[in-house]
Amino acid sequence: MQPIPQQPPPPQATIWATRPVAPSAQAMPAGEQTAPVPRRSAALNAALRRCQSLHATPWLRRRLRARLDKRALAEWARPQELRSFSPSGLPLLPASLGEEEFLRLDAALPSAMRPQLTLGFSLPDILADPGAFAMARRFAGLRGYGTALDDLDARLLPMLTPDNFGLDKLKLRFSAALLALMAPAAPRWKPPCRPSASVWC
């Protein structure tokens, strides 16, 4: 078994195929045009088949996350979802705030509802693309969204910056390290943001 490459495959590695535009249950008229449909690259298929941890291939994790973000944002922007909107958290890649799907959701949300939506950014994603994170944090602040450092391992708390990367809230992943931190004999920990903004889950 060959290891998964640590870098994304080049653009030319994408395989293109054609399929009928009409549903498969219907007969294609004579001379009907076909549309190109991209298939996953060989490297991506190999990684998925082996079911290896995405933490070992950051480029693959970010690629899959970007696709999932697009789907989630498209779902959130549906009129049915907006009518039943309630205070929620939405984890995203920083770069996803510049995508068409997020901008469509932003335009659909009334200004009074935006503070009820907390956009979460994980530490690996922040460190992987600090430029996109800086732009996303500024855009979220200008538009009135809440922000959070999302899914943080309690063992990384001593490494946090005093301002919590400029984010409003802190969301800690439930783990044995978190339980140890909450034990009476544990050293007292001072959160980098106001205690009421810390979320334990």
For residue 120, the SS3 value is strand
Categorize the per-residue pLDDT at 24 as very low, low, confident or very high, splitting at 50, 70 and 90.
very low
Break the chain into its structural domains and give their ranges. 1-52, 54-200
Tell me the per-residue pLDDT of 60-115, one tens digit each, with 9 for 90 and over.
878 888 999 999 999 999 998 888 999 999 999 999 999 999 999 999 999 999 99
> Which pLDDT does position 154 carry in this prediction?
80
The string of DSSP letters for 167-188 reads -SEEEEPPSHHHHHHHSTTSPP
Q: Does residue 120 carry a pLDDT above 70?
A: yes
Give the chain's mean pLDDT.
74
The span from the CA of 83 to the CA of 102, in Å, is: 17
**Tokens at 165, concatenated:** 């990367």
Tell me the per-residue pLDDT of 121-171, one tens digit each, with 9 for 90 and over.
999 899 999 999 999 999 999 999 999 999 888 888 877 888 899 999 998
Tell me the per-residue pLDDT of 8-19, one tens digit each, with 9 for 90 and over.
545 443 333 333
